[in-house]
Amino acid sequence: MAKTKKTETEQPLRKGGLFAYAPAPESPAAAGEIATSYGHFVGGEFVDSSGSEALKTVNPATGQVLAEFAQGTEEDVDRAVKAARAAFADWSALPGSERAKYLFRIARIVQERSRELAVLESIDNGKPIRETRDVDLPLVAAHFFYYAGWADKLDFAGFGPNPRPLGVAAQVIPWNFPLLMLAWKVAPALATGNTVVLKPAETTPLTALRFAEICRQAGLPTGVLNIVTGDGRTGAALTAHPDVNKVAFTGSTPVGRAIARQLAGSRKKLSLELGGKAANIVFDDAPLDQAVEGIVDGIFFNQGHVCCAGSRLLVQESVQDELLDALKRRMGTLRVGDPLDKNTDIGAINSAAQLARITELAEAGEREGAERWAPECELPGAGYWFRPTLFTGVSQAHRIAREEVFGPVLSVLTFRTPAEAVEKANNTPYGLSAGIWTEKGSRILWMANRLRAGVVWANTFNKFDPTSPFGGYKESGYGREGGRHGLEPYLNVEALDV
């Protein structure tokens, strides 16, 4: 076969069995027009910042600047909170069935514009289009549909006969699932009658700003949703604002601790969804081919930028060699490259800072004596990239087994008995998720009752549904998002007559 010259962003051909995959790119033009600069969204309008500082968001696959956006000041935050407060009385007074109409409308528009949003998310975030198209966007719409259904049924949600909203909700979301995390927080807040001031992550603001356009298209009353962009300084100003009644944060554990200290002694309601170091536990009776797919999905989905990623593989000693051989073969077929290529399995790392963090922890794993393995693959010359990586010979003392890497790096440990597996799985300051792979239902129940994790998957991993609550224990935070449980953080429990 004659060699052809590849462009800088073209997907390298990777062998998969007897076949090779040719590029199948999605058009960047499908993302619609990206403005050169953005202000904040306050009171139903895009407005300029009171300050002059601007930040830049880049395409992680190329390193090219996509747009500039405003660095929110305390004055900007105050203006957004005042707009949300002004809108609260009318919005909370609407019958639930009327609020539901707006959420249904938003959900339908998200579906109609899903291709545009999926491409924009991949460009701004770096994740493969296959994931934004097939996972993120369907779940975004599903959350708005689901909570629209709850809006007129709050009296029957189990929180008393007259549940009432809190007021203004301050929401700070991360960069790994920008639009999905927005939906997780905004949908229940609006369904319960609260108004919102949202701060997206400073590396991925574009889909949140596009969502503001969707809210205008849906006719959402002005001030019900406000978006202030910026870095951690803006987030700190928002969570500290005295007229905010509720704070919801998803992000790193250190920032979550700082917010908890900041709000201590106040009457603000707080929910935190923080880091994780999940154990994916494979027993000797597990269907190994199925388990391999679950392991790959658990750690390499979204480049490992997942708080509940199965970054620790605990495998029973008797099947360690067989499982690792199969896992390495599967890793060798993963395609790393252009996020807009429909064949890509692993896209770009979100930022230079995150790539440096992943690289530093991987190097620490080698220094501490773990054995590193990664499949051969050609990485693009521009942007931020990291090969899917496997470490064996890992002990519980290694940093890669203790710290959240937040990247495509898997640490392998072994166990002999179920009790040892539980002990090793729980030996972490985190407690967000875990996975169990076995044919025995009784063993699944025995393990699940002993694992200190908010979510336990059985013979699967990274499965999400808007009807199911999600959240953690210990340093993974507190509070639940999703399902009926996701309503409670936005209701005034003290005012309930129960």
Say how far apart CA 361 and CA 357 lie, in whole Å. 6
Beta-carbon contacts of residue 216 (< 8 Å; ≥ 6 apart): 44
Beta-carbon contacts of residue 351 (< 8 Å; ≥ 6 apart): 58, 60, 175, 203, 384
* Closest to 409 (Cα-Cα) out of 309, 280, 332, 286: 309
Say how far apart CA 328 and CA 350 lie, in whole Å. 25
* Closest to 456 (Cα-Cα) out of 415, 487, 426: 426
* Closest to 60 (Cα-Cα) out of 382, 325, 313: 382
Catalytic member of 121, 131, 273, 481? 273
Say how far apart CA 219 and CA 213 lie, in whole Å. 10
Neighbours of 65 (CB within 10 A): 11
DSSP line for 67-104: EEEE---HHHHHHHHHHHHHHHHHHHHS-HHHHHHHHH
Say how far apart CA 309 and CA 278 lie, in whole Å. 6
* Closest to 277 (Cα-Cα) out of 418, 402, 172: 402
Half-sphere exposure of 151 (CA within 13 A, CB side): 29
Specify whether 273 is catalytic.
Answer: yes
In the numeric block, the tokens 């040892």 are attached to 420
| Total residue count of the chain as it appears in this document | 498
What's 22's DSSP letter?
P
Sheet containing strand 65-70, strands side by side: 37-38, 65-70, 54-58
Say how far apart CA 459 and CA 438 lie, in whole Å. 7
Say how far apart CA 394 and CA 29 lie, in whole Å. 45
* Closest to 123 (Cα-Cα) out of 55, 197, 207: 207
Say how far apart CA 283 and CA 258 lie, in whole Å. 39
Q: Where are the alpha helices (DSSP H) in 301-386?
A: 320-331, 352-367
User: Which amino acids are annotated catalytic?
Assistant: 273
